[in-house]
Amino acid sequence: IWVGKMDYIFTSGEKFKLEAGAKGDYSFFTNDVTYETFVNDQWVSDPEFSESATMKEVIQAAYLSMNYNIDDKTGLKAGLRYERTLTELNLQSTDNDINRELNDFFPTLFFSKQFNDNNSLSLAYNRRISRPGFFDLAPFVILIDPLTYVTGNVNLLPAISSSFKSDYTFRKLLISLQYTRINNSIQRFQPSRLPDSDCGVLSSVNLDLEEMYNIA
């Protein structure tokens, strides 16, 4: 894994701060899994559980953020991040290689207001990306018992979440409202069954949509 980054910060007094930067990430890994059974006095490779895979991923990102104290009781933070991701995954056992490109923007916004010593309000919005890890993707095999095993899912997509939050404080009382919407949410260790087999498989999968509401 190779990572490089560059950041720039500009301030003007105590009220204004501007940050900008760029980051590049290059990762490459090879995953070889060989599963053999002892048949007729010799070890025979089982193609159902054996796989050789190589993965290359390039992430390029740039961001700009601003922090502005409008007055002693009012603050505003805003930012925007752009990301470009290139993913290439090659499997030895199939010609169905994965070549995927993702281009997207991820804004953030935070506003706070102190009305007086007893009342304050904050509003926030952010959009984020959560990428599957190597453990989620790699076509490894972990046998739990003869009929159950854990494996990776090479078809996983990154999860994109959008979150809105509002907090109101009155003296020592806090009222919080939050809504989060996640596309392609990643759920780990989800069970399935191999076709025409009694074997159960646990792997990570994408949900089309996940929504969460929170009132506190």
The segments of the chain whose pLDDT lies below 50 read: none
36-39 and 74-91 strand pairing: unpaired
Amino acid sitting at position 34: T
pLDDT value at residue 173: 92
How far is 182 from 130, CA to CA, in rounded Å? 10
pLDDT value at residue 124: 97
* Residue carrying the six token digits 């002693």: 72
pLDDT value at residue 195: 78
| DSSP structure string for 153-188 | -TT---EEEEEEEEEEEETTEEEEEEEEEEEEEEEE
Taking alpha carbons only, the member of 42, 124, 34, 27 closest to residue 76 is: 124
pLDDT value at residue 33: 81
pLDDT value at residue 138: 77
| pLDDT tens-digit map of 10-56 | 999 889 999 999 999 999 988 888 888 888 888 988 777 787 888 89
Q: What does pTM read for this prediction?
A: 0.83
Q: Decide: 115 and 73 in contact? Cβ < 8 Å.
A: yes
pLDDT value at residue 52: 82
The two most distant CA atoms of the chain are separated, in Å, by 83
Q: Is 172 exposed, middle or buried (0-12, 13-18, 19+ CB in 10 A)?
A: exposed
46 DSSP assignment: -
pLDDT value at residue 90: 86
| DSSP structure string for 55-96 | EEEEEEEEEEEEEEEEETTEEEEEEEEEEEEEEEEEETT-S-
